[in-house]
């Protein structure tokens, strides 16, 4: 069932709520530059196992409204709080991929983990997607600037190049085209704005310390977007966290090893 939830007077967020009567709820936050349909291979399986799966399109992406502003992690986490309140979610697992993982971390800090009983991070873009003087991991700053420039000059080509680095396992041309079209659903300005947020955002280092729920970290060792040392930093910074390296996955861990991904996620929720 798909519907819209108003998060500001002129901004609505698109939400899919699968198996609303499920015994346990998972709220999925997609990564850049995709939308909630990137979790298709979770949504195909987990509701049949009794889970309620809620997927949202972040503002600027998928079927959600695409305002000119609001692409900082504070505002994006506030959008999540609006969804949580509107659906009256309690005792749920919050799961986020890549930038969605960073937003999930900000939600835990900014909203004191409201309603969340467990946190799951999938190739999360945290505590910093880029290298910094005190954090010699992640992408080079100029690599992200190149993405922004590509977004503003030839977004389809930028998306193609980015998609080529996303998965470690072989994907068919049809699958690659599907993933490419997902990125095109976003607005160009929101695509660039999120990349600018990667450059400016440093508070996630502090946010990690404010997470007090059991946390699962699933990360591909071949990830070329959020490099594996980011997962190690998350594990070090979050108390009561479990890190599961995926030996045959890149950034698209949710698809590269989808059966193992679903297994580890549901096992964590049931523990």
**Strand 215-220 relative to strand 241-246, pairing:** parallel
State the catalytic residue, choosing from 36, 97, 219, 251: 251
Based on the residue annotation, tell me whether 30 is a catalytic residue of this protein.
Answer: no
State the catalytic residue, choosing from 64, 223, 249, 256: 223
The separation between CA 64 and the C-alpha centre of its own chain, rounded to angstroms, equals: 16
Secondary structure string (H, E, C) spanning 68-103:
CCCCCHHHHHHHHHHHHHHHCCCCEEEEEECHHHHH
State the catalytic residue, choosing from 98, 128, 241, 249: 98
Based on the residue annotation, tell me whether 251 is a catalytic residue of this protein.
Answer: yes
Structure tokens at 245: 């390296």
Based on the residue annotation, tell me whether 223 is a catalytic residue of this protein.
Answer: yes
Structure tokens at 11: 């901004």
What is the DSSP secondary structure assignment for residue 113, as one 8-state letter?
A: T
Rounded Cα gap, residues 172 and 195, in angstroms: 27
What is the phi/psi pair of residue 107, to 5°? -60, -45
* Active-site residue list: 98, 223, 251
């Amino acid at each position: 069932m798909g519907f819209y939830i108003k998060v500001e007077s002129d901004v609505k967020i698109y939400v899919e709520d699968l198996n609303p009567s499920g015994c346990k709820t998972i709220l999925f936050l997609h990564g850049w530059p995709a939308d909630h349909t990137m979790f298709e291979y979770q949504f195909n399986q987990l509701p049949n196992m009794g889970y309620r799966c809620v997927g949202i399109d972040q503002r600027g992406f998928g079927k959600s409204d695409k305002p000119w502003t609001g692409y900082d992690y504070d505002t994006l986490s506030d959008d999540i709080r609006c969804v949580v309140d509107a659906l009256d979610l309690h005792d749920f697992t919050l799961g986020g991929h890549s930038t969605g993982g960073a937003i999930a971390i900000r939600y835990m800090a900014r909203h004191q983990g409201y309603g969340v009983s467990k946190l799951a991070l999938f190739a999360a873009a945290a505590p910093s997607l880029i290298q910094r003087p005190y954090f010699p991991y992640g992408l080079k700053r100029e690599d992200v600037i190149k993405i922004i420039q590509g977004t503003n000059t030839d977004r389809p080509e930028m998306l193609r190049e980015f998609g080529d680095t996303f998965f470690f396992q072989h994907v068919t041309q049809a699958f690659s085209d599907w993933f490419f079209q997902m990125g095109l659903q976003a607005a160009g300005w929101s695509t660039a704005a999120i990349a600018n947020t990667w450059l400016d955002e440093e508070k996630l280092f502090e946010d990690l310390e404010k997470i007090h729920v059991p946390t699962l970290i699933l990360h591909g060792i071949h990830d070329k977007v959020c490099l594996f040392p980011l997962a190690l930093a998350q594990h070090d910074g979050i108390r009561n966290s479990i890190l599961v390296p995926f030996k045959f996955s890149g950034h698209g861990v949710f698809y590269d090893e989808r059966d193992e991904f679903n297994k580890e996620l549901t096992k964590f929720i049931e523990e």
